[in-house]
Amino acid sequence: MTISQTQEWLRVLSRNLENSYLGSADIKHKSTSGKVRENQILDVLLSLLPKKLSLKRNVVIINSDDKQSNKFDGVLVDDTNWPQIYYIDTMIVAPIESVRIAFEIKSNLDKGDIDKIFDEAKNLGKMKPHQVSDFPLVAGFSYKCTNVNLAFYDFVDNFVNNEEYNPSLICVLNKAIFCLMNDSGTIVFKPNNNLTPTLIKAGEDSLLLFVYLLSSILLEKTNSRAIRNYSEELFNSLSSFSFDKNFLKKMNEKTRKKFMGKNVQEIEDIYKTLNN
């Protein structure tokens, strides 16, 4: 398949991010290497995303009842119409009404990371202002994932147990996007328990798809169709996978073990063995 120039450029960026991740492994202090990796992807998003909102780093979100979130690695905020509440050193405090998307960034996505992303989404969702129906969305990004099939299983398991408050999407660099779809096969960003968790096999175009989806949120679909035109062949070629809704009711530790250590297998093949 012939790829577009946009795809090629974003693939170069993806390779650069991957190489930067490997280079930061030489930094022995874990919190320092983690911060370097956070800044690398946030710098890329800052450069690529529409400038409708500002990208802030190390943000605690607060509501009018004085409830506070844990610190998010990055947050897209409206600082034109809303003030910052407080700042100290490298951390800021932002009112929840100003926040559109909060980011959690991971080095190597595993069950503990996925659990944490869902916990942060749940806690943030419960902080939503009384006078508005929407609450900030949560998105995750990971440089690596040892077993994407197992990670997706854990993503789905968390979705089933968390109901309303879930992250909108998680990007695994050069591998996949975890997202939520409605019955029409459309990606939906505002979580609800009627949606279907979906694995999009974006491969080395995962960063491009991540940027497109985030841009769609920020632009509220005003220009999302035009953005998609730049990589139409990519979007037409993407394959996806989701579990049958009846399977979601049967998920347990026994079924989870079937996905351990089988990252080289297609997830569809593992799933078939559970239904035979």
Give pLDDT tens digits for 66-79. Answer: 999 999 999 999 98
Residue 38 pLDDT > 60: yes
The reported pLDDT for the residue numbered 29 is 46
Q: Is the pLDDT of residue 112 over 80?
A: yes
Sheet holding 196-200, edge to edge: 86-88, 91-95, 54-62, 72-77, 99-108, 137-144, 169-172, 176-181, 196-200, 240-241
* pLDDT score recorded for residue 88: 84
Of 11-15, 113-117, 272-276, which range is least confident? Answer: 272-276
3-state secondary structure of 134: coil
Q: Tell me the average pLDDT of the chain.
A: 88
pLDDT for residue 262 is more than 80: no
Q: What is the pLDDT of residue 106?
A: 96
Q: Higher confidence at residue 26 or residue 92?
A: 92
Strand (E) or helix (H) holding 88: strand 86-88
pLDDT tens digits for range 205-239: 999 999 999 998 888 655 666 776 766 677 778 89
Q: Supply the pTM of this predicted model.
A: 0.92
Please tell me the predicted confidence (pLDDT) of residue 138. Answer: 97
pLDDT at 221: 57
Q: Which residue has the tokens 């595993």?
A: 110
**177: pLDDT strictly greater than 70:** yes
CA distance 238 to 44: 23
Q: Domain span at residue 128?
A: 5-275
Q: Is the pLDDT of residue 1 over 70?
A: no
Question: Is the CB of residue 60 less than 8 Å from the CB of residue 43?
Answer: no
pLDDT in tens, 119-161: 999 999 989 776 665 779 999 999 999 999 999 999 999 999 8
**pLDDT (mean) for 176-193:** 91
**What's the domain count of the chain?**
1
CA distance to 241, 269, 270, 271, per residue, from 276 (Å): 18, 11, 10, 9
Compute the distance between CA of residue 31 and CA of residue 27 in angstroms, rounded to an integer.
Answer: 9
The pLDDT assigned to 275 comes to 75
Instruction: Give the phi and the psi of residue 183 in degrees, each rounded to 5.
Output: -65, -15
